[in-house]
Amino acid sequence: MDSSTVNAIGQLAIEAAQANRIDADTPALILRTEHAGQQVVSIEHLQPGRSRFRGAFATRQLPDFAAYVIAETENAARERGSVQGFIDTDNMCAKVFFNLGNLEHAGHADHTATLNLKPTAAYAALLAATARSLDQRTLHDFVEDWRDNITPLFDGQPDATRLANTLAAIRDITVETARKVNHVERDMGATRSAMESIDARSTLTLPSGFEFRAVPYDGLAERTLRLRLGVITGGDKVALTLRIQQAEQVTEDIAKDFRDRLAAKLGTACPLTLGTFTP
């Protein structure tokens, strides 16, 4: 095989490689698969840099999220009209797409920023306590651990001076059972009825509920929630329950606070829409 033949074969190989190359912003090749098919393989990683910027920023801090969104929006993203944010108030999160594009020129939507607010320790402890029935020890420990956030309620009025008595009353609960049987004999029959009453009492006065002060999520306003104390006597042991009064309204108010604070932080940097979006 002479040199001209070798050069010709080399030239054919170069032309074949060029023919398989896709002329696009992101370089790629069309390669054959082992089953005589074809697949597109990106060779972007062989370049000195990426063809375009993309990435996914995530944080639990509202100020950091707002700062990143504003900085990226000012980085020419707004001029393309492609920045769009979505707020999911049910899950206390938000997501901004910097290259979403529009109906005429759709973007890849792979440069994003996500905010997932984290419940504070106090609010997380409250949600855990209200999600299940508690025994005396567990409720006592909960009130003791968060005594700086808790005020007992007596006749609907908060009284912080009686917190120590409240802890003692929770530890000392007695279940009293009374049974009354009535039997009546008649000429043609008889009637018998039984009535049983179970009452939970404490030598000290139990509160009707509590006030619980906490910042629900980082970056939001502090709230005072009212809790109703319930006593369940049906089992072998006394069970105690805590219920957030007007829980649905509390959840709506927290979500509104989240939406308003995020909108105030972002200003005109990014349009926001309530809901979720999957590109």
d(CA 132, CA 240): 9
Whether the predicted pLDDT of 83 surpasses 80? yes
* C-alpha angle 104-105-111 in degrees, rounded to nearest 5: 140
Q: How far apart are CA 60 and CA 219, in angstroms?
A: 10
Q: Give the model's pLDDT for residue 5.
A: 47
pLDDT at position 166, please?
92
- pTM for the predicted model, two decimal places: 0.74
Comparing 3-7, 96-100, 126-130, the range with the smallest average pLDDT is 3-7
Look at residue 82 in the predicted model and tell me its pLDDT. Answer: 78
Is the pLDDT at 78 greater than 80? The verdict is no
Q: Could you give the percent of the chain with pLDDT greater than 90? A: 50
Average pLDDT, the chain: 80
* Tens of pLDDT, residues 178-218: 444 455 555 555 555 444 444 455 557 889 999 999 999 99
What's the whole-number mean pLDDT along residues 71-98? 82
**Residue that wins the pLDDT comparison between 269 and 128:** 128
Residue 122 has pLDDT above 80, yes or no: yes
Q: How far is CA 220 from CA 70, 120, 123, 166, 249, in A?
A: 20, 10, 12, 30, 16
